[in-house]
Amino acid sequence: MVLYNFKKITVVPSGKDFVDIILSRTQRQTPTVVHKGYAINRIRQFYMRKVKYTQSNFHEKISTILEDFPRLDDIHPFYGELLNHLYDKDHYKLALGQLNTARNLIEKISKDYVRLLKYGDSLYRCKQLKKAALGRMCTVMKRVSPSLAYLEQVRQHMSRLPSIDPNTRTILICGYPNVGKSSFINKITRADVDVQPYAFTTKSLFVGHTDYKYLRWQVIDTPGILDHPLEECNTIEMLSITALAYLRAAVLFVVDLSGSCGYSLAQQASLFHSIRPLFANKPLIIACNKTDLQPIETLPESDALLLQEMKREAAKAGAGLVDGAPPDEEGCLLTMSTMTEEGVIAVKNAACEKLLQQRVEVKMKSKKINDCLNRIHVAVPRQRDQKERPPCIPQAVLDAKVAEAKVLEKRKLEKDLENENGGAGVYSANLHKHYLLLDPDWKEDIMPEIMDGHNIADFIDADILQRLDELEREEEEAAATAQAADEDEDMSDQELTAEETEALLAIRRKKKQILEEHRLKKSTADNKPVMPRKHDHNRQFNTGRMGQHLSSLGLDPGAAVERIRSKSRLGRKRERSAGGGDDYAMDIDQQPTKKMRARSRSLSRPHTEALPGEGYKDSAQKMKAMKIAKKAVKQRNKDARKGEADRVHYNLKPKHLFSGKRGTGKTDRR
């Protein structure tokens, strides 16, 4: 079996980029100067070299792509089936086959035109043959552009696949969606799988690693599976089924006892029985999760019977590991809670222990153990006589061990001191008692704290606590005095008249309205549709709205409205009467004609005027901001950028089209 590192697959360029890369390399790596005065054999060799070099570059680059992509028949069946579900095996093979065909066609084109170039009788004819050869090669590559684009998408997705070793010790977690599979893998490994309170949060395989008995274990989190026929499973569910079918692992079937996942225990038991063939010859554990919401002891009798039936089936699946072994139901049904972490480690240890036992049994039954036994020799000493020789320890050594044990019993350990003085978190160990000083009494001396060359003890006030108490009492007295003054000044609602009460309620309603408008504006962050001004009555600038606003403030709007109307009357143009009589002033209530509206544009508000809610202090600030914004987009518009995030750099001059033989005077740059 060949193991592939999908992250090292060569990047597949598009058809146009492929042609530019190859032709630019040909232009750089082959001679570019030829004269018609050269011998015809030299001219033929010049153009034959270009055709052969281009063909070899195409062959090398296409061969690298074909070799880097894995062959589905050579890799592990798990990866082969996984790639089949993700990318469709037929499309994948078809794209690689088209690339292989393109490589063969380019080689055939090169041979044909090299044969023709051997009979070229002039520079012009040889040049045209070279041009035709390179053009046909590029046409072949452009025709396989869809395959190249498909393979690049496959390469990008394959590079993001998790690194799963099909042969190592593996724990596979499966079950219905939202039963706690991702939470379990997050608890026992360093993986960080997204956990959300809805189904199908996990849409692909996730891998974590944990340790048990000094061995590294691989833990795989699979997407949720629904209980329906295999033909109706989507791509996400097929990832889980593929892992169950092709990986030799300990299977952990997670069950939600509380039903908060959206599926009852009967539905989960039905799924267990429908995918039971996938558990054959694999250690299987049923992990009952969310026991903090629904303890297993309080389950209804029907649900308890379902669990017992699942437990028997799990024992039978494990019994298939050893031929003729009776089903062992111990350890097949465990409870845990990923919320409180109760029983999580026990479930992990049980799964690891079952898989370890199964792997040892398989190795003992294999033929490899016989090869190992042939190379192992256990030496057993031959008994010399029937005399017993018990172990003999000198008495001095025994006395020394007894004395050492008595000393250890008398000496108090740091743990004993901790338990006597309040326990962990309360007891603080004395770090000075082991200091080696001339005078042992110096160990408890207080060390001076020095900052900026001064001893902090010189600046400590001995009466600091007393002074702090006095300051706090003064502050409390001042606060009490201020509160009493405020209570005297405030009037209770009962002392107000009916008009004052109504005014107070109006003020409070207005305050509440302003607060709600501000909160609404703040929560939406201006991310809301804007109503046109002609339909938005709150933004219309007319005398009616101004009068309502002034009336709400308790002011008389009559004088202000008359002043505005008088200015509007003076600004209008007088018209002749229909009978040719004297001029008359148009009545205020008369609707202006379309012609008058067009001519009265000078009286309208300019676009630079600051509107309420735009965030500008005045019109001058708005003008300045508009000027800065216009200056900021000047360079972007000059570069023909679509916006601030436009980072496209167009290759306007491919090297193979704009380099080569240079004219007179182009080389003197010194």
Q: Under a CB-based contact definition with an 8 Å cutoff, are residues 215 and 169 in contact?
A: yes
What is the model's pLDDT at position 323? Answer: 47
Q: Higher pLDDT residue, 12 or 563?
A: 12
Q: How far apart are CA 220 and CA 208, in angstroms?
A: 6
Report residue 221's pLDDT band, with 50, 70 and 90 as the boundaries: very high
Q: Higher pLDDT residue, 285 or 658?
A: 285
19, 159, 158, 175: which is closest to 86 by C-alpha? Answer: 158
DSSP reduced 3-state for 284: strand
Q: Under a CB-based contact definition with an 8 Å cutoff, are residues 414 and 428 in contact?
A: no
Report residue 525's pLDDT band, with 50, 70 and 90 as the boundaries: very low
Structural domains of the chain in order of their starting residue, each with its CATH number: 6-158 (1.20.120.1190), 162-368 (3.40.50.300)
Q: Which of 70-79, 309-318, 366-375, 394-403 has the weakest average pLDDT? A: 366-375
Q: How far is CA 364 from the centre of its chain?
A: 44
Q: How far apart are CA 307 and CA 272, in angstroms?
A: 11
CA angle 117, 120, 124 (to 5 degrees): 105
Question: In this model, does residue 575 exceed pLDDT 80?
Answer: no
End-to-end Cα distance, the chain? 60
Positive or negative, the CA dihedral 401, 402, 405, 410 is: negative
Looking at the chain, the whole-number percentage of residues with pLDDT higher than 90 is 25
Give the residues across from 206 on adjacent strands.
221
Q: Under a CB-based contact definition with an 8 Å cutoff, are residues 209 and 221 in contact?
A: no
Give the residues across from 208 on adjacent strands.
219
Report residue 540's pLDDT band, with 50, 70 and 90 as the boundaries: low
Q: Measuring CA to CA, how many Å separate 542 from each of 40, 72, 537, 592?
A: 92, 76, 10, 15
431, 414, 433, 432: which is closest to 423 by C-alpha? Answer: 414
Report residue 564's pLDDT band, with 50, 70 and 90 as the boundaries: confident
* Distant-in-sequence, close-in-space partners of 308: CB < 8 Å, separation ≥ 6: none
Question: In this model, does residue 600 exceed pLDDT 50?
Answer: no
What is the model's pLDDT at position 312? Answer: 86
DSSP reduced 3-state for 175: strand
- Describe the chain by its helix, strand, coil percentages, rounded to 5: 55, 5, 40
Sequence letter at residue 298? T
Question: In this model, does residue 549 exceed pLDDT 50?
Answer: yes
Question: In this model, does residue 439 exceed pLDDT 60?
Answer: yes
Q: How far apart are CA 510 and CA 520, in angstroms?
A: 15
225, 420, 258, 444: which is closest to 337 by C-alpha? Answer: 258
What is the model's pLDDT at position 571? Answer: 53
| Per-residue pLDDT tens digits for 612-637 | 778 888 889 999 999 999 998 998 88
What is the model's pLDDT at position 605? Answer: 53
Q: Under a CB-based contact definition with an 8 Å cutoff, are residues 314 and 284 in contact?
A: yes
171, 134, 163, 124: which is closest to 54 by C-alpha? Answer: 134
Q: How far apart are CA 191 and CA 171, in angstroms?
A: 14
Helix-helix angle 89-117:123-143, to 10 degrees: 180
94, 285, 249: which is closest to 175 by C-alpha? Answer: 285
| Per-residue pLDDT tens digits for 459-509 | 877 788 888 889 999 999 998 888 777 665 555 566 788 888 888 888 898
Average pLDDT estimate for 356-364: 84
Question: In this model, does residue 526 exceed pLDDT 70?
Answer: no
What is the model's pLDDT at position 442? Answer: 87
* Distant-in-sequence, close-in-space partners of 61: CB < 8 Å, separation ≥ 6: 18, 21, 22
Q: Under a CB-based contact definition with an 8 Å cutoff, are residues 217 and 169 in contact?
A: yes
Q: Higher pLDDT residue, 97 or 483?
A: 97
Give the residues across from 593 on adjacent strands.
none
Q: Higher pLDDT residue, 445 or 64?
A: 64
Q: How far apart are CA 532 and CA 59, in angstroms?
A: 63
Report residue 154's pLDDT band, with 50, 70 and 90 as the boundaries: very high
Question: In this model, does residue 434 exceed pLDDT 50?
Answer: yes
Q: Higher pLDDT residue, 551 or 3?
A: 551
DSSP reduced 3-state for 660: coil
What is the model's pLDDT at position 489? Answer: 55
What is the model's pLDDT at position 329? Answer: 67
Average pLDDT estimate for 422-445: 86
* Distant-in-sequence, close-in-space partners of 114: CB < 8 Å, separation ≥ 6: 48, 51, 52
What is the model's pLDDT at position 574? Answer: 52
| Per-residue pLDDT tens digits for 163-209 | 888 888 999 999 998 888 888 898 888 888 888 877 788 888 899 99
CA angle 259, 261, 263 (to 5 degrees): 60
Residue at token pair 């939202």: 178
Q: Measuring CA to CA, how many Å separate 561 from each of 544, 551, 564?
A: 8, 12, 5
Backbone phi, then psi, for 217, in 5-degree steps? -120, 140
Question: In this model, does residue 542 exceed pLDDT 60?
Answer: yes
What is the model's pLDDT at position 516? Answer: 80
Q: Under a CB-based contact definition with an 8 Å cutoff, are residues 220 and 168 in contact?
A: no
Q: How far apart are CA 14 and CA 61, in angstroms?
A: 13
| Six-digit token string for 510 | 């207005």
Average pLDDT estimate for 544-570: 78
Q: How far apart are CA 20 and CA 13, in angstroms?
A: 10
Q: Which of 281-295, 296-310, 605-619 has the weakest average pLDDT? A: 605-619
Looking at the chain, the whole-number percentage of residues with pLDDT higher than 70 is 85
Provide the mean pLDDT of the chain. 82
Give 609-644 as a 3 state SS string.
Answer: CCCCCCCCCCHHHHHHHHHHHHHHCHHHHHCCCCCC
537, 542, 556: which is closest to 588 by C-alpha? Answer: 542
* Distant-in-sequence, close-in-space partners of 292: CB < 8 Å, separation ≥ 6: 337, 339, 340, 342
Average pLDDT estimate for 644-656: 77
H or E, element range at 474: helix 464-489
What is the spatial order of strands in the sheet that 206-212 belongs to? 206-212, 215-221, 170-175, 250-256, 284-289, 333-335
Report residue 578's pLDDT band, with 50, 70 and 90 as the boundaries: very low
As a whole number of Å, the CA-based R_g of the chain is 44
* Distant-in-sequence, close-in-space partners of 161: CB < 8 Å, separation ≥ 6: 6, 82, 205
Sequence letter at residue 299? L
Sequence letter at residue 28? R
DSSP reduced 3-state for 309: helix
Q: Under a CB-based contact definition with an 8 Å cutoff, are residues 176 and 270 in contact?
A: no
| Per-residue pLDDT tens digits for 46-96 | 999 999 999 999 999 999 999 999 888 888 888 888 888 888 889 999 999
* Distant-in-sequence, close-in-space partners of 602: CB < 8 Å, separation ≥ 6: none
Q: How far apart are CA 638 and CA 658, in angstroms?
A: 25
Average pLDDT estimate for 532-553: 72
Helix and strand counts by DSSP (H, E) for the chain = 22, 8
Average pLDDT estimate for 4-9: 81
Average pLDDT estimate for 424-443: 86
Question: In this model, does residue 284 exceed pLDDT 60?
Answer: yes
Give the residues across from 251 on adjacent strands.
172, 284
Q: How far apart are CA 437 and CA 440, in angstroms?
A: 6
